[in-house]
Structures are given as C-alpha cells and as structure tokens.
Amino acid sequence: MQNFEQSDMLKRLPEQFFAKLVAKTQEVKEQGHDVINLGQGNPDLPTPEPIVKELQTAAENPVNHKYSPFQGFGYLKQAAADFYKREYDVSVDPEQEVTILFGAKAGLVELSQCFLNPGDTALLPDPGYPDYLSGIAMASAEPAFMPLQRENNFLPDYSAISEEALDCAKLMFLNYPNNPTAATATKTFYDETVALAKKHHICVVQDFAYGALGLDGQKPQSFLQSEGAKDIGIEIYTLSKTYNMAGWRVAFAVGNPSVVQSLNLIQDHLYVSLFGAVQSAAAAALNNDQTAVKQLAATYTERRDRFIRALNDIGWDVDIPEGTFFAWLPVPSDYTSEEFADLLLEKAHVVVAPGRGFGDYGEGYVRVGLLASAERLEEAAARIGRLEIFK
Ligand SMILES: Cc1ncc(COP(=O)(O)O)c(C=O)c1O
C-alpha cells in the first residue's frame, strides 16, 4: 500500500487537542459507566418543528433537486437582511452585503484564505474557538493572540497590543457572546474596535454564533449596531445554535461588501451552494415568529441557574455566565486544566473540556456545556461534590 505524503498545508494544521478527550471518553463509556458528557458544544434539543416541516416540503419540490444557484437563493439572503433589520435595526443590502455559508466554520476558515498571504498576521482571541487558527495555518499566516482575561471581562485589552502589531494585522477575529468564556461584549467595546480597525486598516470578523443566547433575557449587541462597523468588517451568524440546527450546516455573513464579494468568489470555486431545501428551511427559521428562540434562551438560563447553584452547594466558587450555553469554571490551583478534566472523567464520569485546548490563556479553567437537562447538570455537580475537592 502506498503512503501518499500530505501537502505542507495539511502538515501545518494545528493538532486537534480535543481528539484525545473524545478517545478517553469513549474508553470510560466502554467500561460501562454512565458518562455525563458536558465537553462539547453540540446543542442537545431538536430543531423547532416548523423548520423541519419546511425542509420536508421543500425536499419534495423538484426545483431543489437541481443545483442551487451559485451563491444561494435570493430569498435566503433577503431573509437574512430582514432578520438583521428586525432584530438589530441594521440595514444591509441582501445581494451586496449578505453571503450564505456552509456553517460558520466554513466561512471562518475561508476568510483567512481570502485575505491572508504567507507571513501576514491575524489577531485572534486566546482562549478562542480553534477554527480561527486552522484557517490562519492553512494560509501560512501568523497568529497574534489577544489574551482574554477575567480582570478585563474576557475582552481583549487593545492598549496592550503594540502599534507595530496593529499595523501588521490584516484580520481580527472576535467572538461575543464568547466561546469558551461565556462573556458578552458591550457597545462601547465594539465602538472602540471600529475606531481601532479604521486606524490600522484591519478587517474585523465578529463571530456571532451565540448571538441569540443572551441569558437572563438580555439581548446581545450585534457588532453591526456600532456606527461604521460595516466599513471595516463583517459579522458571521450561524443558525446552528439559535435554532438547534448544528447538523444542517447553514450560516451567513453580513457586512462589508468587499468581504462578502471575496467570500462569494472563493465559494464559487469550492461549492455550488447549499441544498435548496436547507435554504428554504433556513429562510423559514429566520422569517418565522422567534418565540422558540426566546424559550431556548430561557431554558439555558434555567439550566445555568440550577447548575451554578449546585456548584456553589459543593463549594465551587464560580462566575455566573452571561451568554452562550457554556460555563467557564476555574480549576483548583493544584491541577492543570487537563489533569482536572481527566480526574472528573475518571472519578466522576463527567466530561468537561480543559481550558488549555482553547489556548494558553485557557489554562486554569474548564469549559462546561449546559447541554443536558437541569437534572443531569445537577447530577454532574453532585458527582463532582462527592470527590470532596472543594471542601
Ligand atoms: C464560536 C463558534 N463559532 C463557530 C462555530 C461553528 O458554527 P457552525 O455550526 O455554523 O459551523 C461554533 C461551534 O461550536 C462556535 O462555538
């Protein structure tokens, strides 16, 4: 059997930190233990029924059996534009300022291919969602990490970045509400970002994956609500978390027309477009009454409250997450995040994601997904309590 050598690009891809955790989890499951897996970011609840029904109907329409038009159906771009107007009072031109993506992940990786040449620099959060780094590595570009620290509400401290580094940077990735820290951003922060990006000619990519998941009834700010944001960047909006559609692979980007045009160009070479029935269901999701989204945020708020209360009961002193469906929990000082995650898996059969997997500044934390029922989350806390670590 021939062993074909990988391209340099594939060799440059960062190691999949969490692959080890997945394998260890599988081992513990195979030993017959009841594992509570809170280590991943996969929504546990189903897609609302009207969206599924729309997919079923649209799948029967022969129009959708053909290739979809390049760059997607106009009605989906219009639905995205209407959604931004209705939800955020932001006006975008559906043809020039919206592009449809095969999930946010694909768009985020494509953006680095669109704007970075070998040796260029991109600013990205540490800790952060790992795929920003994947795209940067594919483009042979250099990451410049912006630490997200608790004392700064997990927002990057722009004053700590040198003028030289800012002048070099071509792209900046942001993500609020934030995975993994569960922090949210303020309008003031986005206003500062716009001013900084203008001054240094940086293209800002704000990943709004958890845009619908403000807890306690709070509505997270869209980056595009800041004046001038469209001049210097885009926002990526996925349907994965808002409508529990992670398996459907549909998202869109809104904002700067030159960025939209570049994404359209690369996608013309990679794909035709999404299955028409998925586009039809995605448009229904965006156009429909949004009551189910509010209910979803309320469900996560309730899970968070019960989980945090249960952690406090066992003596684990933690911050209260503001957005997303994650909790970012400090690790006791005598463990690394990986050692602590291993301990919880082996002794409590609870899976959490070690913070180190999200970057150097993730060390000292573990991330918990509130992606099980409140009862299972309380059970996870009780099991951890029985280890008597926090007494
Ligand atoms: C911050 C962030 N961005 C993007 C994604 C990926 O979204 P999609 O399912 O649209 O690819 C995730 C998924 O976990 C995420 O946490």
Ligand 1 nearest-atom number relative to CA 105: 11
Q: Is residue 391 part of a domain?
A: no
CATH number at residue 242: 3.40.640.10
What phi and psi, each to the nearest 5 degrees, are found at residue 205? -115, 105
Taking only the tens place, the pLDDT of each residue in 124-136 is 999 999 999 999 9
Residues 89 and 34 in one domain: no
Residues 351 and 251 in one domain: no
Residues 154 and 241 in one domain: yes
> Is 338's C-beta closer than 6 angstroms to any atom of ligand 1?
no
> Is 240's C-beta closer than 6 angstroms to any atom of ligand 1?
yes
Taking only the tens place, the pLDDT of each residue in 249-271 is 999 999 999 999 999 999 999 99
| Model pLDDT, residue 122 | 98
pTM, 2 dp: 0.97
Residues 171 and 41 in one domain: no
Residues 335 and 253 in one domain: no
Cα of 105 from ligand 1 centre, angstroms = 6
Residues 214 and 187 in one domain: yes
What separation in angstroms does the CA of 339 have from each of 77, 98, 180, 346, 365?
46, 44, 18, 10, 11
Q: How confident is the model at residue 19 (pLDDT cuts 50, 70, 90)?
A: confident
Residues 126 and 36 in one domain: no
Please count the other Cβ atoms lying within 10 Å of the Cβ belonging to residue 262.
18
With residue 327 as reference, give the H or E element that holds it: strand 326-330
Smallest Cα–Cα separation from 58: which of 278, 283, 287, 247?
278
Ligand 1 nearest-atom number relative to CA 207: 3
Residues 148 and 247 in one domain: yes
Taking only the tens place, the pLDDT of each residue in 152-210 is 999 999 999 999 999 999 999 999 999 999 999 999 999 999 999 999 999 999 999 99
When the pLDDT of each residue in the chain is averaged and rounded to a whole number, the result is 96
Taking only the tens place, the pLDDT of each residue in 276-316 is 999 999 999 999 999 999 999 999 999 999 999 999 999 99
State the total domains in the chain.
Answer: 2
Domain boundary among 267, 287, 307: 287
| Model pLDDT, residue 226 | 98
Q: How confident is the model at residue 16 (pLDDT cuts 50, 70, 90)?
A: confident
Where in the sequence is the domain holding 238, given as residue range(s)?
66-287
Taking only the tens place, the pLDDT of each residue in 74-86 is 999 999 999 999 9
| Model pLDDT, residue 44 | 96
Alpha helices in 36-142 (DSSP H): 49-59, 74-88, 103-115, 131-138
Residues 16 and 153 in one domain: no
Q: Is residue 311 part of a domain?
A: yes
CATH number at residue 365: 3.90.1150.10
